[in-house]
Amino acid sequence: MSEETLAMQQQLMSAFRDLADSVVSAAPRVAVALVLIVLALIVAKGVAYVVRALLNKVRFDALLERLGLAATLSRFGLSQSPTAFLGKVTYLLLLFLFARVGADALGLTAVSQALGSFLAYVPNLVAATLIFLLGSLAAQVASRAVARMAGESGIEYASSLGGLAYALIFFVAGIMALGQLRIDTEIVRLVTAGILAAGAIGFGLSLGLGTKDITRNVLAGFYARKVFRIGEQMEIAGERGRLTAITPTQTLLEHDDRTIAIANSVFLEEVAKQ
């Protein structure tokens, strides 16, 4: 047998011995990892079950339904109940936690660091989700309040104003949620500030110059609706009749089968007699 063949055989034997030593030395860590995997599955399922049971006990789904958040979640693609979803999230987070422990046990430093970075990012995800949900709730409440007040004031576009309030608050909540996710929103904030400033200036100019008479009538009508009641007999601006309506800009009187329209601003200039 040649020297080259002997040398190759010795190298192969050395490689097999090193492999066997590596397997033997890694066996305890592999066994620990397998035990951790089994324990992780059992504990994660148990904790997820407890979380779902507690949420069901406090009627979490019904609470979100009353607050209007369940409909918001369904619009964003959540097809299952919030209780079941939170149970699955709890289960997955615990699996990631045990996976990091297992990676440390096996000496997989890169895997452990990646999992650690993800787990460190979870609080940001939770904060962004809470901001998003609370912002959606605040937007719904503000939308209903604005629409109701605008409707009571006789403004014809009350629902549109409510929708605008909802969009503005929801947009602000979205920007805050993106900030929690460490996504740079500086450009969006600057553009939004510019648009809002331009809109405010334009609205102020139109309100002060082009529509001051309409604004005066709308405000006068708002206060007139607080004082007078439909069906009352009244006299104003030399006209007498039964009050039939107070529109955003005009007051309507009915007298001898005639409808008399008087600008609401008259309430600010003359005495109304009942």
Q: Name the band, by pLDDT with cuts 50, 70 and 90, for residue 273.
A: low
Please report the pLDDT score of residue 153 as a whole number. 65
Distance from C-alpha of 272 to C-alpha of 182, rounded to nearest angstrom: 61
Distance from C-alpha of 45 to C-alpha of 39, rounded to nearest angstrom: 10
Distance from C-alpha of 101 to C-alpha of 203, rounded to nearest angstrom: 59
Q: Name the band, by pLDDT with cuts 50, 70 and 90, for residue 250.
A: confident
CA distances from 38 to 29, 45, 46, 180, 238 (A): 14, 11, 12, 35, 91
pLDDT tens readout for residues 168-188: 888 888 888 887 777 766 776
CA distances from 222 to 170, 228, 264 (A): 29, 11, 9
pLDDT tens readout for residues 200-234: 676 666 656 556 677 777 777 777 777 788 888 88
**pLDDT score of 124 more than 60:** yes
Please report the pLDDT score of residue 241 as a whole number. 83
Q: Label the pairing between strands 258-263 and 239-246.
A: unpaired
* Fold held by 123-210: Helix Hairpins (1.10.287)
Q: Kindly list the domain boundaries of the chain, sorted by start residue.
A: 23-107, 123-210, 219-269
Q: Cβ distance 273 to 243 under 8 Å?
A: no
* Fold held by 219-269: SH3 type barrels. (2.30.30)
pLDDT tens readout for residues 52-93: 888 888 887 787 777 777 676 776 667 777 788 888 888 888
Tokens in use for 244? Answer: 């039939």
pLDDT tens readout for residues 55-65: 888 887 787 77
pLDDT tens readout for residues 128-177: 888 888 888 888 888 888 888 777 766 666 777 788 888 888 888 888 88
**What single-letter amino acid sits at 5?**
T
